[in-house]
Amino acid sequence: MKKSILNRALDQVEQARSTWIELAAMGRMAAKLPQLQPRGHWNSARMLEERASQSPDAVVLAFAEARYTLRDVDRAVNRYANFFQSNGIRQGDVVGLVMDSRPEFLFAITALNRQRAVAALINATLVGPALAHSLDVAKPKAILVGSECAEALAQALPLASAAPAQVWLQQESAASDTFGFAPINSALAAHSERPPRGVGLPETSDAMCYIYTSGTTGMPKAAVISNQRWLSGSVWMGRSVAEAGPGDVIYCALPLYHTAALCGGWGAALASGAVLALRRKFSAAECSADLRRFNATILLYVGELCRYWLAQPPTPQDREHRLRLALGSGLRADTWERFQARFGVPLIREMYGATEGNAPLVNFEGRPGMLGRLRHGQILVRFDAGTSRPARTAQGRCERVGIGEAGLLLAKITAATKFEGYLDDERATEEKIVRGVIEPGDSYFNTGDVLQLHEGDWVSFVERLGDTYRWKGENVSTTQVAELVERFPGVREVNVYGVQVPGCEGRAGMACVVRGEAFHLDDFADHVTSSMPRHQRPLFLRLLQEMKTTATLKYTKVEYQQEGYDPGRVRDPLYYFDGLRYVPLCQKAHEQIQSGELQLG
């Protein structure tokens, strides 16, 4: 009994400590609260203008060998804003931005914000129908494309429903092909470095940009990002989570057309006085050298970035950096501990959130594997794995899960925790809202993510709904299977998903594996048999040289699922599990599986 009382007392002390840490983080936002008011007159362009007037010679941006002061950036933004204005861009107009992560991207989006126009941030890796789809969703009046994306845009425009009136080309080199687009470099240089006239003060409630969902499970949707959402996210990440300030350098190799970089990188730097060290695309081989070259103190990560860096051969320079914090999302517990031990990063703060969501979480204390503690208005509820919707009681309400259980994360929609929805897609917007959760009339945002509840309201990630499939009457978590597969020596990367097999209920498990030298197929089959129950075992195996990912380094599943296990469509080595070992999947075996002659599982 005494031990039980003591443990309860210690738990209360620990919870009080965690609460104090979170309250202190909120307090670090206090100085910026006037800029975050719903009816205010702030946006990213005005924040830049204020910073440039206060510290014009302070460096705010580093890219390759170039360094940009606040004055440099503010003047460049004005040139772009005057260019847009002279070409008919007005308040509320939409301009598509298709460009890699480089300074001109930031100049352009901030200039559009200064014009009170809206930037549609198109994923710069998209091609063909996917790129055309993103353009169709945004319906831009004009497009600004970087020369590195010009060819892809030229090929995609004929596939779009309607072409924009103007397409401007920002050339990195005068020798680059224009693909028929109008170069703007000379015109930009001729425009004034003073603010454009007649624009007026911004409204915090105005739309700033459209950011597209990552597209891991289908075509991307455009989330509407208001000035207030960008400001709140930037101040929160820069001042509360990163505790950044003058003297800090935030290293960002993530794409600027997603929230992690736009708020956690550029916005955090503006809000805190830090420098943003920007890299066009992440390179695991050059990450360590970049950190030393930029004297980075904060690393932004997402998805599997830390795993890619960890997979590099160890060197004596692994700990030769100034990093005090790694900040991001998607870091698994096993990778977390190995990453921190090897590179000596003092603190890792894992975050959780969605571009359009209202349920941010932060693990301020650096507990491996944890996303943070549930905040007010956030609940985990029981759900129906078949429909991916919350389960209902006899009274029609949702039921909270208990400690040790997994539940669907819902977040209450309020004036302070808004869900601004998707652009021109009322059906998709409505599908994300759950009503009557606790009481009649309430509304909650459905994150689509399953988290596990721990003592003290701590939560850890379990899976994304849709990352679960059903086989042999059992629900199978792709995340859990992937973690088990990864434990086998020689597995460098793994992507697990379900595929349909004719005549079978549910979906059979399939694993794409990038293998190392230590990988042996027969031993892998023994590992699968010994570590997983029958319904979890991947029945199909595809061996890859390199895993395809989205721009945010998340594994893509849709394309792999569509290709399935058909050797006529897949050139990589394919195997099926016969119950004891993995057997090469030839065309004849595929035909036998399709006809039902060869039974699996």
Residues 426 and 506 in one domain: no
Residues 473 and 454 in one domain: no
- 362 by DSSP, 3-state: which? strand
- When divided into structural domains, the chain yields a total of 3
In a domain, 294, yes or no: no
**pLDDT one-digit tens code per residue, 307-346:** 889 889 999 999 999 999 999 998 888 789 999 999 999 9
Tell me the backbone φ, ψ of residue 226, rounded to 5 degrees.
-80, 165
Which residue, among 451, 471, 519, has the nearest Cα to 491 in the 3D structure? 519
Residue 1 has pLDDT above 50, yes or no: no
Question: Which amino acid belongs to residue 372?
Answer: G
Q: Which residues contact 309 (CB under 8 A, 6 or more apart)?
A: 284, 287, 288, 339, 343
Q: What percentage of the chain exceeds 70 in pLDDT?
A: 97
Would you state the pLDDT for residue 550? 77
Q: Which helix (H) or strand (E) holds 340?
A: helix 333-343
Block residue for tokens 């699996």: 600
At residue 472, does pLDDT exceed 80? no
Neighbours of 18 (CB within 10 A): 18
Over residues 267-306, the pLDDT tens digits come to 999 999 999 999 999 999 999 999 999 999 999 998 678 8
CATH number at residue 155: 3.40.50.12780
Share of the chain above pLDDT 90, in %: 72
Residues 514 and 460 in one domain: no
Q: Does an H or E element contain 477, and which?
A: strand 474-477
One-character DSSP codes across 319-336: T-S---EEEEE---HHHH
Would the pLDDT of 216 be above 60? no
> Rounded mean pLDDT of 109-132?
92
pLDDT digits (tens, 9 = 90+) for 162-197: 889 899 999 998 888 999 999 999 999 999 999 999
The secondary structure of 37-66 as a DSSP string is -TT----HHHHHHHHHHH-TTSEEEEETTE
Judgement on whether residues 268 and 412 belong to the same structural domain of the protein: no
Report the sign of the C-alpha dihedral through residues 586, 588, 589, 591, in that order: positive
Has residue 215 been placed in a domain?
yes
Residue range 524-538, pLDDT digits in tens:
999 998 888 788 899
State phi, psi for 313 to the nearest 5 degrees.
-60, 135
Chain mean pLDDT for the chain: 91
Q: What is the pLDDT of residue 213?
A: 79
Residue 570: give its domain's CATH number.
Answer: 3.30.300.30
User: Given 430, 464, 498, which residue is the final one in a domain?
Assistant: 464
In this structure, the answer to whether residues 378 and 445 fall within a common structural domain is yes
* Among 575, 573, 567, 568, CA closest to 537: 575
Residues 154 and 65 grouped into a single domain: yes
Domain boundary among 252, 281, 310: 281
What is the H or E stretch that residue 493 is in?
A: strand 491-499
387 and 489 belong to one structural domain? no
The pair of structure tokens assigned to 344 is 């000596």
**Residue 292 belongs to some domain of the structure:** no
- pLDDT, residue 207, reads 96
Structural domain contains residue 349: no
Instruction: Classify residue 408 as exposed, middle or buried by CB count within 10 Å of its CB (0-12, 13-18, 19+).
Output: buried
User: Which pLDDT score, from 0 to 100, does residue 219 have?
Assistant: 61
pLDDT tens string 538-593: 999 999 999 988 777 778 887 898 899 999 999 999 999 999 999 999 999 999 99
Is there a single domain that holds both residue 509 and residue 399? no
The domain of 365 spans 361-464
The identity of residue 198, as a single letter, is: G
Residue 322 lies in a domain: no
The residues, ordered by sequence, that sit 6+ positions from 589 with a Cβ below 8 Å of its Cβ are: 576, 583, 598
Q: Is the residue at 297 inside a domain?
A: no
In a domain, 189, yes or no: yes
pLDDT digits (tens, 9 = 90+) for 477-523: 788 789 889 989 999 999 999 998 987 767 899 999 999 989 999 99
pLDDT in tens, 447-465: 988 999 999 999 998 877 7
Q: What is the CATH number for 428?
A: 2.30.38.10
Question: Quick one: which of 161, 150, 105 has its CA closest to 127?
Answer: 150
Yes or no: say if 96 and 122 are a contact pair by the CB < 8 Å rule: yes
User: Is 511 found in the same domain as 375?
Assistant: no
Are 456 and 478 in the same domain?
no
328 inside domain: no
Is the per-residue pLDDT at 3 higher than 70? no
User: Are residues 140 and 98 part of one domain?
Assistant: yes
pLDDT of amino acid 367: 95
pLDDT in tens, 77-119: 999 999 999 999 999 999 999 999 999 999 999 999 999 999 9
Considering only residues 347 and 26, tell me which one the structure prediction assigns the higher pLDDT: 347
Picking from 443, 464, 485, the residue at the C-terminal end of a domain is 464
Which token pair is 260? 């992690």
- What local confidence, expressed as pLDDT, does residue 32 receive? 87
Q: What is the pTM of this model?
A: 0.83
Query: Which band of pLDDT confidence, cut at 50, 70 and 90, is reported for residue 396?
Result: very high
pLDDT at 126 over 60: yes
pLDDT the model gives residue 386: 63
pLDDT at 214 over 70: no
Q: Are residues 51 and 194 in the same domain?
A: yes
